[in-house]
Amino acid sequence: MNYFSQLIGQDKAVELLQQAVARNRIAPAYLFVGAAGIGRSLAAKCFAKLLLCLDLAPETRAMAHKRVLARNHPDLLWVEPTVQHQGQYLTAKEAETAGIKRKGTLPIRIEQIREIAEFLSRPPLEASRSLVIIEEAQAMTEAAANALLKTLEEPGRATLILIAPSTDSLLPTLVSRCQCIPFSRLSLEDMEEVLRRNGHEEILAHAEIGAIAQGSPGEAIASFERLQAIPEALRQRILELPKSPLDAIELAKTIDRELDTPSQIWLLDYLQYIYWQNRRQKNFLELLEKARQYLLNYVQPRLVWECTLLELLS
């Protein structure tokens, strides 16, 4: 059975993982590195199905597959960055569903690493090993990363998979304890194939989305969704640029009110592409990139937009 049939354009990563299982040399920890949206999480899910079904009878594998996909397999723990809200920790998707507006990036907290240690303190219930998958591992706080080191030293009957954009985004001591599996950006043909398979043909008509995605189907889908979420009237106002200082200040206020910080950061990427295509002015790109860096460093968004739009106006 080909557990990786859904994964397109990552033949090298698939070969490394399949060979590890075939040779019975499964590492205690893996680090899946590469850009967001190119298949790292899907590969982790496929690998989870493979590892948690080793030595299972054929008639029980189908149920195990479903439980892995639903993330309720008793020997699988999936960890993501969270936002704290009313005493609860919510993932980004849960926060969005609950209508919680979040500012900046979300962390992986030391409480979650302690949960991993507790999870691994008991033997696996159904599979031959336990499995922990940590998405956006670069979001670990310093305390969380240091706590994870202890777990990686003695994982027991378990395998951990860390997912991050690069080895440089993690502590060297963490990287040294993992087998690195590199993931590459997809070719245009492979990206289009992924989008078609997942029912997103409409995205192919937007050249600017493909350019922003740069070989990442996940980024293309996320970008299209963000574009659709921006009210049409606001989108047109942004593309036309303000006509006066008062217009610039009002537009900054509207952007800050209607879009959360991640959407504002994406909007700057979108505007960089659009402005370059329409105006070919290098100083526009530099101003927008400076604004992007300010937002990433938690500068007050409305102030960032006011300054940026006023400079663009001048």
Q: Are 238 and 267 in contact (CB under 8 A)?
A: yes
The answer on 195 and 94 residing in a single domain is no
Distance set, CA 193 to CA 4, 46, 47, 182, 225 (Å)? 16, 19, 22, 21, 19
Q: Backbone phi, then psi, for 10, in 5-degree steps?
A: -125, 50
2 domain residue, yes or no = no
6 domain residue, yes or no = no
The whole-number pLDDT of residue 83 equals 85
Q: What is the CATH number of the domain that holds 100?
A: 3.40.50.300
- Provide the residue range defining the domain that includes 199: 188-228
d(Cα 111, Cα 91) in Å, to the nearest integer? 14
The answer on 119 and 17 residing in a single domain is yes
Domain end (from 228, 260, 290): 228
76 domain residue, yes or no = yes
Domain end (from 147, 182, 217): 182
The whole-number pLDDT of residue 104 equals 62
The answer on 303 and 157 residing in a single domain is no
The answer on 121 and 174 residing in a single domain is yes
Per-residue pLDDT in tens (0 to 9) along the chain, 314 residues: 789 999 999 999 999 999 999 999 999 999 999 999 999 999 999 999 999 998 888 888 888 888 998 889 999 999 999 887 777 777 777 777 767 766 567 899 999 999 999 999 999 999 999 999 999 999 999 999 999 998 998 888 999 999 999 999 999 999 999 999 999 999 999 999 999 999 999 999 888 898 889 999 999 999 999 999 898 899 888 888 888 999 999 999 999 999 988 899 999 989 888 887 877 777 888 999 999 999 988 899 999 999 999 998 87
- Give the total number of structural domains in the chain: 3
126 domain residue, yes or no = yes
The answer on 149 and 78 residing in a single domain is yes
Q: Are 77 and 119 in contact (CB under 8 A)?
A: yes
173 domain residue, yes or no = yes
Q: Are 32 and 183 in contact (CB under 8 A)?
A: yes
The answer on 162 and 48 residing in a single domain is yes
d(Cα 304, Cα 268) in Å, to the nearest integer? 11
The answer on 44 and 168 residing in a single domain is yes
The answer on 107 and 222 residing in a single domain is no
The answer on 201 and 178 residing in a single domain is no
The answer on 149 and 167 residing in a single domain is yes
For the stretch 63-119, pLDDT in tens is: 888 899 888 999 999 999 988 777 777 777 777 776 776 656 789 999 999 999 999
Nearest to 154 by CA among 128, 129, 117: 117
The answer on 215 and 240 residing in a single domain is no
Dihedral, CA atoms, 205, 210, 213, 216, nearest 10 degrees? 90
Domain end (from 154, 182, 210): 182
5 domain residue, yes or no = no
d(Cα 107, Cα 141) in Å, to the nearest integer? 6
Buried b (16+ CB within 10 A) or exposed e, 277-309: eeeeeeebbebbeebbebbeeeeebbebbbbbb
The answer on 210 and 171 residing in a single domain is no
The whole-number pLDDT of residue 206 equals 87
- Read off the pTM: 0.82
The whole-number pLDDT of residue 190 equals 95
223 domain residue, yes or no = yes
d(Cα 4, Cα 10) in Å, to the nearest integer? 10
